[in-house]
Amino acid sequence: MHTSRRFPTGLNPRMLRAEPMQRCRLHECRGACCLHGVWVDLTEQADLLAHAELITPHLPPALRDPAAWFSGPQEADEFSPSGWVIHTTVLPDPAHYGGTACIFLRDDYKCALQVAGESAGFHPWRFKPFYCVLHPLDLDEEGRITLDETRALLSEEGSCLRPAAEAIPLTETFAPELEYLLGICPSSSLTERSTV
């Protein structure tokens, strides 16, 4: 778990609801969320570059140059540890949802950073940028973990969530992320049942 982060500060009350949605399945969504790449804190960027030798074997030969992994200008981000983020490189990919993909998305639709973490014996998300682990969750204006409204998420083409037959506590659906990011998983007994 990342312990030096300034975020998140907790849970938005929205996360204590139960809603009729569940996780996507990688073989169905094929990493659709990797369409636009991701913002990476400068400390995360430095960490990835320092561990490039663990990451490069999990990328195709043409994408193994760490100098090509990030692009665009740095931007301010009030929630990131350094206060600055840079974007991962996004490549044209006609076979992927939306026609583009993050440089770290492999042909098997797995993230090279996650595969590298697992292969090195670390937590699978050891090298995953914060905003990748967080997705499709988000941060509210107070830096608390939240989630967009159910209808918006379920109607979005390529969404990381899909309908469920019954309401499932969001703290259950996102238990791995909440435990990793907050160090604890809020009890689903706090959850309100919602019929959206």
What tokens appear for 68 in the block? 């090509």
CA distances for 16 relative to 20, 87, 114, 142, 185, angstroms: 13, 31, 28, 17, 11
Q: What is the pLDDT of residue 66?
A: 98
Span 33-39, average pLDDT: 91
What tokens appear for 64 in the block? 């193994």
The Cβ of residue 10 has, within 10 Å, a number of other Cβ atoms equal to 13
All structural domains of the chain with their residue ranges: 10-193
List pLDDT tens digits, range 54-91: 999 999 999 999 999 999 999 999 999 999 999 999 99
Q: What percent of the chain has pLDDT above 90?
A: 66
List pLDDT tens digits, range 162-171: 899 999 999 9
Span 85-110, average pLDDT: 94
Question: Which pTM does this prediction carry?
Answer: 0.86
Walk across the sheet containing 17-23 and list its strands.
161-169, 17-23, 192-193
CA distances for 9 relative to 4, 146, 189, angstroms: 12, 11, 21
